[in-house]
A = this chain, B = another copy of it.
């Protein structure tokens, strides 16, 4: 993309209403614009990141054997009356009356709707196990929306639902979700720690929240420092293998890690003092096992092996996709702006032309731009007639991990400058070498056609 043809309305001023870094930086970098309280338009740069996160979530869910579908945003109140949650949910549920005076609502979550689909179409234990999910806009009428997309009212969420014959199978589904979430967050450049949590309005006995450590987190968290050494990494996992998934659960949840809701000082104090950590965390996902809480009242049964009806064991599992954009920025920024992890960056590299209009500099930039695109990379070329300082500031603000600087002086020596946004370190090299190096850096993120490859990166594909 050429910046002169793009829509990237960066702001010079820091917006007064933004209290935390991610909100400030998303506004300043032209990623979002508030449409009304707690509701945002995703400007092109923000939408690109949001879409990348969505694709990573899809890929990891499909890899785990879960099936994508899509439920609508508006739901009928009737189903919620069946489960008993219509009255229980409180004022955060946005209630709507249509022109025929029917009670509707903007879905904050989808347990009822998916259970209705299940009971309408599935009749036998032979059709289990089954996990369906979707990624859809939700609404929660927060009394005090704030922190930008971190606590908005209209938000984009992945929610998945497992249907199993037994508790044991349902706990395997729980474990599959835990594993797939660990992979998902790591691909986004995040460390998200599963912590024993409280189930809230979803209900259920078993639940873990995934928290990203950040000073601006809404939850106080208590954990054993050993947990931050754990990495899922690129190990192979067979999602059908119960023991393998259970082992991952145990590895990642056996050390103490709890939010303030479930914190137990007596247990915490048994950890050696030098490993005890108290910090703040941002919740970016949660998994639940809740048994027959919805299948019982809603009659979601299957015929068991003995011919008798069995209420299915369920769980639900969410990832806050729009909120993750903010969480990644909270975890990765500095005074100058955002620092995108390679897996989610909106563009792979920026090209800064120090002397727009200079024949040689322009030609070198065009050549770099084409060479990067020929490698399947997605560069952003700042081809505006602006001062170098302004161009650098924009690139630093929007946070592309790599910048190539092209100027007449370097070109005389046959070199351009390759700069890491994270370290600030620069290296001079031939333009071809810079292209090769960037291609190498992104190689682990390249998706392979027709397969679910680790770290597939949709930006190598066609439309963005």
Q: Is A456 an interface residue (CB 8 A)?
A: yes
A109-142 residues at the B interface, CB under 8 angstroms? 113, 116-117, 120-122, 130, 132, 134, 137, 139, 141
Minimum Cβ distance to chain B for residue A296 (Å): 22
Q: Is A246 an interface residue (CB 8 A)?
A: no
The interface-forming segment of A16-24, A55-63, A284-292, A415-423 is: A55-63
Question: With the chains together, A68 CA to B120 CA distance in Å?
Answer: 37
Question: With the chains together, A48 CA to B58 CA distance in Å?
Answer: 12
Are B456's CB and A449's CB within 8 A? no
Given A59-B463, A450-B376: A68 touches B44 (CB 8 Å cut-off): yes
> Which residues from chain B contact A130 at a C-beta distance below 8 Å?
7
Q: Is A104 an interface residue (CB 8 A)?
A: yes
> Which residues from chain B contact A30 at a C-beta distance below 8 Å?
121
Q: A5 contacts which of B58, B65, B96, B449 (Cβ < 8 Å)?
A: B65
Q: Is A375 an interface residue (CB 8 A)?
A: yes
A435-451 residues at the B interface, CB under 8 angstroms? 446-451
Are B464's CB and A447's CB within 8 A? no
Copies in the complex: 2
Minimum Cβ distance to chain B for residue A329 (Å): 18
Given A35-B75, A122-B9, A450-B378: A43 touches B55 (CB 8 Å cut-off): no
Question: With the chains together, A62 CA to B130 CA distance in Å?
Answer: 37
Are B39's CB and A72's CB within 8 A? yes
> Which residues from chain B contact A452 at a C-beta distance below 8 Å?
462-463
Q: Is A373 an interface residue (CB 8 A)?
A: yes
Question: With the chains together, A73 CA to B458 CA distance in Å?
Answer: 25
Q: Which residue of B lies closest to A61 (CB)?
A: B463
Q: A449 contacts which of B47, B104, B460 (Cβ < 8 Å)?
A: B460
Are A67's CB and B41's CB within 8 A? no
Are B463's CB and A99's CB within 8 A? no
> Which residues from chain B contact A55 at a C-beta distance below 8 Å?
462-463
Are A113's CB and B41's CB within 8 A? yes
Q: A99 contacts which of B76, B141, B449 (Cβ < 8 Å)?
A: B141
Given A72-B39, A98-B94, A102-B36: A451 touches B456 (CB 8 Å cut-off): no
Are A44's CB and B62's CB within 8 A? no
Contact-size category for A:
35 or more
Are B58's CB and A464's CB within 8 A? yes
> Which residues from chain B contact A266 at a C-beta distance below 8 Å?
none
Q: A376 contacts which of B61, B120, B121, B449 (Cβ < 8 Å)?
A: B449
Minimum Cβ distance to chain B for residue A161 (Å): 11
Instruction: Give the one of A62, A72, A116 with max B CB within 10 A.
Output: A72
Are A43's CB and B59's CB within 8 A? no
Minimum Cβ distance to chain B for residue A458 (Å): 7
Given A6-B67, A42-B69, A450-B377: A33 touches B117 (CB 8 Å cut-off): yes
- Top 3 nearest A-B pairs (CB, nearest first) are A376-B450, A9-B121, A376-B449
Q: List 17 A-B contacts (CB under 8 A).
A: A30-B121, A37-B100, A41-B113, A47-B68, A47-B69, A58-B463, A58-B464, A61-B463, A62-B462, A62-B463, A68-B463, A96-B106, A376-B450, A451-B462, A452-B462, A456-B462, A458-B462
- Residues of chain A touching chain B, judged by Cβ–Cβ distance below 8 Å, are 5-7, 9, 30, 33, 35-37, 39-44, 46-48, 50, 55, 58-59, 61-62, 65, 67-76, 78, 91-92, 94, 96, 98-100, 102, 104, 106, 113, 116-117, 120-122, 130, 132, 134, 137, 139, 141, 143, 153-154, 373-378, 446-453, 456, 458, 460-464
